[in-house]
């Protein structure tokens, strides 16, 4: 069993890859690997590629420990992702650290045994919403999303929330009674599970999907988004740019996009090539609200 996106050093029919990420899962499945979002069943050993979020890293160790019983768990991670601290925390729970080696700016360690059940992922209440450890902004609403909310007009018809996370924006969008459908599109299965818990409304449709390729059956009147702009620690503005392309593709001819971004992010050029009219409002906290009108038809 392998947690994260690393390809295990065994034959394809002998491994299951556990990942909450839809883009990762799609890529691995297209290469012939078996993938799941949560381990079911047992395994002889587990390999964990450390995620950046510490709480998620711990929850993967707990899930791996349940799956392998007395088998070996190998953890491979970067120092900047806290691999040394994690090694210390694991050491405190097992007598059996079997080995560890430094590797470039990281470390690989392997162990067996120990009790980790209290590290299993648990939803926790953050004041009216519930989140799993490791999802985006797990401790409370993001300040960019709050800024966007303050600039939303009355909404109606079909709306999509691209990168919906645990549902903060979506719940507010559904306060608009004229919204007939809200499509929550989210790549992180753990975040989507939280959204399903947080957004209880018959108009909500949940999609575990890659927003850069997602296509609804019917086009939208409005797209709302606070798009991601990094992957792990790496800045990746092209992800937000791809979200803008999706918004233009899924909107009706007179549809509108409302998005928030950190002011330095380079989204205007993409907006100009995909929409006819763009307005930008700077807000406090270093954000900008971008409103784009009338997607340009693609020839
Ligand atoms: C900046 S967060 C905003 C979350 C939420 N809308 C909020 O306001 O709290 C961006 C979200 O996009 C999700 N995401 C990242 N890449 C994605 C992709 N390719 N497709 C769909 N969602 C993605 C992340 O998991 C994250 O939840």
Q: From 119, 135, 164, give the residue that closes a domain.
A: 119
| Ligand 1 pocket check for 143: Cβ under 6 Å | no
**Cβ–Cβ < 8 Å for 232, 198:** no
Q: From 63, 93, 119, give the residue that closes a domain.
A: 119
φ/ψ of residue 232, rounded to 5: 60, -130
In this structure, the answer to whether residues 60 and 203 fall within a common structural domain is no
pLDDT of residue 298: 64
In this structure, the answer to whether residues 194 and 174 fall within a common structural domain is yes
| pLDDT above 60 (res 151) | yes
Q: What's the pLDDT tens digit per position in 249-284?
A: 999 999 999 999 999 999 999 999 999 999 999 999
pLDDT of residue 279: 97
The residue whose C-alpha atom lies closest to atom 1 belonging to ligand 1 is: 228
Q: Which of 147, 194, 186 is nearest to 166 (CA)?
A: 194
In this structure, the answer to whether residues 225 and 259 fall within a common structural domain is yes
Q: From 119, 154, 183, give the residue that closes a domain.
A: 119
Query: How would residue 231 be classed by pLDDT, with cut points 50, 70 and 90?
Result: confident
**Bigger pLDDT: 229 vs 113:** 113
In this structure, the answer to whether residues 165 and 93 fall within a common structural domain is no
Cα–Cα distance between 4 and 62 in angstroms, integer?
14
Neighbour tally for 178: CB within 10 Å? 9
pLDDT of residue 10: 87
pLDDT of residue 299: 47
| Ligand 1 pocket check for 53: Cβ under 6 Å | no
What's the total number of domains in the chain?
2
Ligand 1 mutation target, pool 228, 244, 246, 247, most atoms within 8 A of CB: 228
In this structure, the answer to whether residues 67 and 208 fall within a common structural domain is no
Q: Which of 235, 80, 216, 208 is nearest to 160 (CA)?
A: 216
Bridge-based pairing state of the strands 16-18 and 2-3? parallel
**Cβ–Cβ < 8 Å for 12, 34:** yes
Measured in Å, residue 178 CA sits from the centre of ligand 1 at 25
The residue whose C-alpha atom lies closest to atom 10 belonging to ligand 1 is: 228
Query: How would residue 104 be classed by pLDDT, with cut points 50, 70 and 90?
Result: confident
In this structure, the answer to whether residues 104 and 8 fall within a common structural domain is yes
The residue whose C-alpha atom lies closest to atom 17 belonging to ligand 1 is: 187
In this structure, the answer to whether residues 112 and 253 fall within a common structural domain is no
| pLDDT above 80 (res 49) | yes
* Segments forming the whole domain that contains residue 22: 2-119
φ/ψ of residue 237, rounded to 5: -60, -20
Measured in Å, residue 188 CA sits from the centre of ligand 1 at 8
Cα–Cα distance between 204 and 202 in angstroms, integer?
6
| pLDDT above 90 (res 287) | yes
């Amino acid at each position: 069993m392998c947690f994260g996106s690393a390809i295990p050093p065994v034959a394809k029919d002998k491994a299951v890859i556990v990942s909450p990420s839809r883009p990762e899962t799609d890529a691995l499945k297209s290469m012939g690997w078996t993938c799941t979002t949560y381990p079911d069943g047992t395994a002889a050993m587990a390999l964990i590629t450390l995620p950046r979020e510490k709480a998620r890293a711990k929850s993967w160790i707990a899930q791996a420990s349940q799956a392998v019983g007395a088998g070996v768990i190998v953890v491979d991670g970067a120092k900047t992702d806290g691999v040394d601290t994690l090694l210390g925390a694991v050491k405190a729970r097992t007598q059996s650290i079997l080995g560890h080696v430094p590797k470039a700016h990281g470390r690989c360690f392997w162990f067996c045994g120990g009790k980790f059940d209290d590290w299993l992922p648990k939803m926790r209440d953050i004041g009216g919403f519930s989140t799993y450890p490791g999802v985006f902004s797990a401790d409370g609403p993001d300040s960019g999303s709050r800024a966007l909310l303050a600039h939303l007009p009355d909404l109606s018809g079909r709306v999509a929330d691209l990168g919906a996370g645990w549902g903060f924006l979506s719940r507010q969008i559904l306060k608009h009674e004229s919204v007939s459908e809200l499509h929550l599109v989210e790549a992180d299965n753990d975040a989507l599970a939280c959204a399903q818990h947080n957004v209880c409304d018959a108009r909500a449709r949940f999609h575990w999907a890659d927003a850069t390729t997602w296509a609804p059956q019917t086009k939208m009147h409005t797209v709302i988004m606070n798009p991601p702009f990094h992957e792990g620690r790496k800045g990746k503005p092209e992800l937000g740019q791809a979200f803008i392309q999706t918004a233009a593709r899924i909107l009706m001819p007179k549809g509108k996009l409302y998005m928030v971004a950190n002011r330095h992010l380079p989204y205007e050029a993409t907006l100009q090539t995909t929409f006819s009219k763009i307005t930008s409002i700077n807000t406090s906290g270093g954000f900008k609200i971008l409103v784009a009108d009338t997607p340009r038809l693609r020839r």
